[in-house]
Amino acid sequence: MWSLERKKQNLTFRRKIGGLVVSANRTRVVAGDLLRSRATGLAKSSTGGCSRFAELLRS
């Protein structure tokens, strides 16, 4: 019984992850850009967008 529950949870989890894969790839690109711009000091002008993006990631 316990393993069946685990399988169900894994399935729903995988479905959620499948939906997140595309946005995760996009996130990775954006995060890379953020890190690069932070390193060069360009992030200051876009901090508003960054915090909004962080809120989206949290929810």
Pick the closest to residue 56 from 33, 28, 23, 32 (CA basis). Answer: 23
Average of pLDDT values for 8-18? Answer: 78
Q: On the CB side of 55, how many CA atoms lie within 13 Å of its CA?
A: 6
Domain ranges of the chain: 2-58
Burial class (CB in 10 A: 0-12, 13-18, 19+), 21: exposed
Q: Kindly give, in sequence order, each residue whose CB lies less than 8 Å from that of residue 57, ignoring residues fewer than 6 positions away.
A: 27
Return the percentage of the chain with pLDDT > 90, whole number: 0
Query: What does pLDDT average to over the chain?
Result: 72
Confidence of residue 43 (pLDDT cuts 50, 70, 90): very low
Q: Is the pLDDT of residue 1 over 60?
A: no
- Please give the pLDDT value at position 49: 58
